[in-house]
Amino acid sequence: MDLNGRKALSFVHHDFEDLEYWYPVYRLREAGMIVETAGEKAGESYRGKYGVPATSDIAFPDAEPAEYELLLVPGGWAPDKLRRFPEVIEITKRMNADGKVIGQICHAGWVLISAGILNGKRVTSTPGIRDDMTNAGATWVNEAVVVDGNLVSSRRPPDLPAYLAALIETLSKR
Amino acid sequence: MDLNGRKALSFVHHDFEDLEYWYPVYRLREAGMIVETAGEKAGESYRGKYGVPATSDIAFPDAEPAEYELLLVPGGWAPDKLRRFPEVIEITKRMNADGKVIGQICHAGWVLISAGILNGKRVTSTPGIRDDMTNAGATWVNEAVVVDGNLVSSRRPPDLPAYLAALIETLSKR
């Protein structure tokens, strides 16, 4: 269960759900991981839905998927913005194709839908995008956290403890 | 290191620092603890500095210190409000007298100052209240987390991973 020194990448953009972005980032740092954040530009300041700030470490085109064991897609409205960047879609597709762990919470599924990686997968999300998830070929269930192979999904902030426990367990088995 | 079913109490009031309140609450729930929150009234909705919501489980007068192994005092501006409630001060004094673990971060030290429990203790906090902490008799150091007996203190949100690791380690030894 030693995650020390292993690397994760989190996407970030405006109107991320404040806790859904920050809890995983801090929690995996607590577990010893190096968590880097990628935004539209490097060193750019973003604000969560409620206004909690976050700064990107690198720009999307400079994120090298091979470096990371885990991809974190935050919830909130940020996924609506993130899915518009071809590099975000490419990183997501590449990490999925390489079997890397991908964590999605709340509205994050929009990014995975646009990456075309949900067909036949068992997932959860905010009920708000349930129809989008099922139209993308996923089987949607209403559970705090769902693990299907490399995909770990969760619904909303109160699920964060279960979400991170599942992400850490999934990473620890590798 | 099994915290399962053990109980913690967190104070809550308006303008808490959003991550400094929620990261400890969710993190200790992830570790299996039952974390209850006490506010001015039971079932009252509070907003963090940035607007992240939180609801109190119980009112200050109904919090029974003997039930809890850990007291969490969040940062932000909430401590300026919390220290004005005699019940908050009484709970803090009682739990300290009973040797319970007390976690304070950022501006949370104001509550511990008013409870008169910092004399001779080694602590950290936001540098903004360093003078208040030293005037209360504490030795102030600029470190991510400081443990002195039952008191665990930290400075600011980026210290949260170190703060929670120290809180969990301190609780696990008991």
* Amino acid letter, A19: L
What residues 43-72 of chain A have any CB closer than 8 A to a CB of chain B?
48, 50-52
Nearest by CB to residue B165, choosing from A22, A30, A160, is A30
User: What is the count of residue pairs from A and B with beta carbons less than 8 Å apart?
Assistant: 55
Mean pLDDT of A41-68: 98
CATH code for the domain of B107? 3.40.50.880
Tokens 């908050």 locate to B88
Over the stretch B97-151, which tens digit does the pLDDT of each residue have?
999 999 999 999 999 999 999 999 999 999 999 999 999 999 999 999 999 999 9
| Chain A residue nearest residue B32, CA to CA | A161
Phi then psi dihedrals of residue A148, to 5 deg: -130, 100
- What value does the mean pLDDT of chain A take? 98
pLDDT at position B36 is 98
Q: How confident is the model at residue A1 (pLDDT cuts 50, 70, 90)?
A: low
Print burial letters for B6-41: b (CB count within 10 Å at least 16), e (below 16): bebbbbbbbbbbbbbbbbbbbbbbbbebebbbbbbe
B83 within domain boundaries: yes
Instruction: Report how far residue A113's alpha carbon sits from residue A104's, in angstroms, rounded to the nearest whole number.
Output: 11
B1 within domain boundaries: no
ipTM above 0.85, yes or no: yes
Number of domains in chain A: 1
Q: Is the pLDDT confidence value at B1 over 80?
A: no
Report the Cα B70 to chain-centroid distance in Å. 8
Nearest by CB to residue B50, choosing from A29, A51, A162, is A51
Find all residues with CB under 8 Å of A61, minimum gap 6, and list them. Answer: A87
Over the stretch A59-83, which tens digit does the pLDDT of each residue have?
999 999 999 999 999 999 999 999 9
Q: Is the pLDDT confidence value at A35 over 90?
A: yes
Give the domain extent around B13: 7-172
Q: Is B159 left (phi over 0), alpha (psi -120 to 50) or beta?
A: alpha
Mean pLDDT of A2-6: 96
- What value does the mean pLDDT of chain B take? 98
Q: CA separation (Å) from A163 to A6, A103, A153, B72, B173? A: 19, 8, 7, 23, 26
Residue B133 burial (CB < 10 Å; 0-12/13-18/19+)? buried
Over the stretch B145-168, which tens digit does the pLDDT of each residue have?
999 999 999 999 999 999 999 999
> To the nearest whole angstrom, how far is the Cα of B49 from the nearest Cα of chain A?
9
Over the stretch A102-155, which tens digit does the pLDDT of each residue have?
999 999 999 999 999 999 999 999 999 999 999 999 999 999 999 999 999 999
pLDDT at position B111 is 98
List beta partners, residue B16.
Answer: B76
Tokens 């995996």 locate to A28
pLDDT at position B10 is 98
Residue A84 burial (CB < 10 Å; 0-12/13-18/19+)? exposed
Inter-chain touch B29–A161, beta carbons under 8 Å: yes
A2 within domain boundaries: no
Residues of A in contact with B25 (CB under 8 A): none
| Chain B residue nearest residue A33, CA to CA | B161
Catalytic annotation, pick one of B81, B83, B100, B107: B107
Q: Is A14 a catalytic residue?
A: no
A1 within domain boundaries: no
Inter-chain touch A48–B48, beta carbons under 8 Å: no
Q: What tokens appear for A33 in the block?
A: 């991981």
Instruction: Report how far residue A139's alpha carbon sits from residue B3's, in angstroms, rounded to the nearest whole number.
Output: 34
| Chain A residue nearest residue B24, CA to CA | A23
> To the nearest whole angstrom, how far is the Cα of A31 from the nearest Cα of chain B?
8
Mean pLDDT of B76-85: 98
pLDDT at position B82 is 98
Instruction: Report how far residue B143's alpha carbon sits from residue B123's, in angstroms, rounded to the nearest whole number.
Output: 9
Q: Do B112 and B49 touch, CB atoms closer than 8 A?
A: no
pLDDT at position A88 is 98
Mean pLDDT of A3-25: 98
